[in-house]
């Protein structure tokens, strides 16, 4: 019998191509229509045996920068049970009876607290890696269910590609994205807190209507028409993110001036996203947005790409 000594899972970042936000619900969440799109910026989560007397779940966590540059901010990753990846390992251990405790190592390229769901991606990767390491063999539906319990954005990185999230974002329907889209991401020095951005949204937009999907965006994606995708990109949280971080307006303007097909705040920010015509155009936009005062770092990545995968 062979024993698994390490499992590594690669998982993508996401950008929201539409983020329509309804009024705050009684449980404190907001109903969303959230078009998730996975992009080729990857974290890797490696699970190994932890060699402790503890039983089940995670017993340790470490993180390193994958070399994506200063703005991946690996020093801000919590290395204890407050990390969503640690909680994912604990949840899976509880659901499947106690197993050998594990150590989780995160190799991060997805910016921390950047509105690209890096923490959620790591949690999704931890679920897949622990499922394989412990030989539990849970199917996709069970993993999606556990992911939704961990957070609104954890289910999507399991699936990847492009998908429409409803409910609080965790109910997913796959969507077609033809061709390759070229993106630029402008990363800021500090993060923005998701609950604070939603709170600012509630103050700025009391009595928001129920969120609705955008057929023009879905048609543009299915046709692979980047120009039409650019025209249809939208994020209801953008005014709230700009209110909390006014300097982002200059970053967006720098990308528009460089001919971006779309320029918008990614999710709850502060990362700004730009759609380019080609990989070369993306490089030019990246050079332009780097000159904006709030931009600490700019990276390019294409989409869409598959979800969490054992490597």
The catalytic residues are: 14, 153
Compute the least distance from the CB of residue 235 to ligand C5P, in Å: 14
Compute the least distance from the CB of residue 173 to ligand C5P, in Å: 16
Nearer to ligand C5P, 17 or 226 (CB): 17
DSSP one-letter code for 293: T
Residue 194 near ligand C5P by CB under 6 A: yes
Compute the least distance from the CB of residue 171 to ligand C5P, in Å: 11
β partners of residue 248? none
Distance CA 86, CA 93 (A): 11
Nearer to ligand C5P, 29 or 253 (CB): 29
Indicate which single residue of 68, 111, 169, 307 sits in contact with ligand C5P (rule: CB under 6 A).
Answer: 169
Q: What are the residue ranges of helices labelled H in the chain? A: 84-95, 118-133, 140-150, 155-159, 194-204, 215-223, 226-232, 238-244, 248-257, 279-289
Give, as ranges, the residues between 28 and 57 that touch ligand C5P (CB under 6 A). 29-30, 32
Residue 122 near ligand C5P by CB under 6 A: no
Nearer to ligand C5P, 83 or 194 (CB): 194
Residue 99 near ligand C5P by CB under 6 A: no
Query: 234 near 52, Cβ under 8 Å?
Result: no
* Only segment of 46-54, 70-78, 86-94, 146-154 that touches ligand C5P (CB under 6 A): 146-154
* Only segment of 11-19, 155-163, 191-199, 302-310 that touches ligand C5P (CB under 6 A): 191-199
Main-chain phi, psi angles of 235, to 5 degrees: -145, 110
Distance CA 250, CA 255 (A): 9
Indicate which single residue of 46, 152, 266, 300 sits in contact with ligand C5P (rule: CB under 6 A).
Answer: 152
255 alpha carbon, distance to own chain's centre: 21
Distance CA 32, CA 45 (A): 29
* Only segment of 43-51, 69-77, 147-155, 246-254 that touches ligand C5P (CB under 6 A): 147-155
Of 163, 122, 130, the residue nearest 38 (C-alpha): 163
Indicate which single residue of 48, 49, 60, 198 sits in contact with ligand C5P (rule: CB under 6 A).
Answer: 198
Main-chain phi, psi angles of 108, to 5 degrees: -105, 130
DSSP one-letter code for 306: B
Residue 236 near ligand C5P by CB under 6 A: no
Nearer to ligand C5P, 31 or 304 (CB): 31
Residue 195 near ligand C5P by CB under 6 A: yes
Residue 24: exposure state from Cβ atoms within 10 A (0-12, 13-18, ≥19): middle
Beta carbons within 8 Å of 246's beta carbon, 6+ residues apart: none
Residues in the site for ligand C5P, rule: CB under 6 A? 29-30, 32, 151-153, 168-169, 194-195, 198
């Amino acid at each position: 019998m062979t024993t698994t000594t390490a499992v590594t899972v690669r998982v993508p970042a996401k950008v929201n191509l539409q983020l329509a936000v309804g009024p705050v619900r009684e449980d404190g969440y907001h109903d969303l229509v959230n078009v998730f799109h996975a992009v080729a910026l990857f974290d890797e989560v490696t699970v190994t045996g932890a060699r402790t007397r503890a039983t089940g779940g995670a017993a340790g966590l470490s993180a390193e920068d994958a070399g994506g540059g200063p703005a991946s901010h690996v020093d801000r990753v919590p290395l204890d049970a407050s990390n969503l990846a640690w909680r994912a390992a604990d949840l899976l251990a509880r659901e499947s009876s106690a197993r050998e405790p594990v150590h989780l190592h995160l190799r991060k390229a997805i910016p921390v607290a950047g509105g690209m769901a890096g923490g959620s991606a790591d949690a999704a990767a931890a679920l897949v890696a622990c499922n394989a390491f412990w030989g539990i063999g849970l199917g996709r539906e069970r993993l999606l269910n556990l992911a939704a319990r961990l957070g609104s954005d954890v289910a999507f990185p399991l699936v990847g590609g492009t998908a429409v999230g409803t409910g609080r974002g965790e109910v997913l329907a796959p969507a077609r994205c033809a061709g390759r889209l070229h993106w630029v991401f402008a990363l800021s020095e500090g993060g923005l807190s998701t609950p604070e951005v939603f709170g600012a949204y509630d103050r700025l937009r009391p009595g928001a209507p129920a969120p609705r999907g955008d057929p023009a965006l879905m048609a543009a994606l299915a046709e692979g028409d980047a120009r039409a995708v650019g025209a249809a990109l939208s994020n209801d949280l953008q005014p709230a993110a700009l209110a909390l971080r006014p300097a982002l307006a200059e970053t967006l303007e720098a990308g528009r001036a460089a001919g971006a097909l779309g320029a918008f705040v990614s999710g709850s920010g502060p990362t700004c996203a730009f759609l380019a015509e080609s990989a070369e155009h993306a490089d030019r936009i990246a050079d332009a947005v780097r000159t904006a005062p709030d931009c600490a770092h700019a990276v390019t990545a294409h989409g869409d790409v598959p979800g969490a995968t054992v490597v």
